Amino acid sequence: MNCLLCEQKLASTPSWQSLFAIEKTSLICENCSKSFERVDIKEEGDPVDHVTSIYTYNEPMREYLHQYKFLQDVALAGVFAEELRTELTGKDAIIVPIPMHPQKKIERTFAHVEEMLKEARIPFEDLLLKTNTEVMGEKTREERLAMRNLFTIKPGSEIQNTTYILVDDIYTTGTTLRQAATVLKEAGASRVEAVTLIRAEK
Residue 71 and residue 106 share a domain: yes
CB 198 within 8 A of CB 54: yes
Residue 179 and residue 156 share a domain: yes
Residue 85 and residue 155 share a domain: yes
CA dist list (Å): 12 to 25, 29, 36, 51, 84: 10, 10, 21, 36, 24
Residue 176 and residue 94 share a domain: yes
Residue 166 and residue 122 share a domain: yes
Query: Strand 191-199 and strand 50-56: pairing?
Result: parallel
pTM of the full structure: 0.86
Q: What residue numbers bound the domain in which 6 lies?
A: 1-35
- Number of domains forming the structure of the chain: 2
pLDDT per residue of the chain (202 residues) written in tens, 0 to 9: 899 999 999 876 555 444 544 445 689 999 999 999 999 999 999 999 999 999 999 999 999 999 999 899 999 999 999 999 999 999 999 999 999 988 887 788 899 999 999 999 999 999 999 987 665 555 565 655 555 678 999 999 999 999 999 999 999 999 999 999 999 999 999 999 999 999 997 6
State how far the Cα of 154 lies from the Cα of 8, in Å rounded to an integer.
43
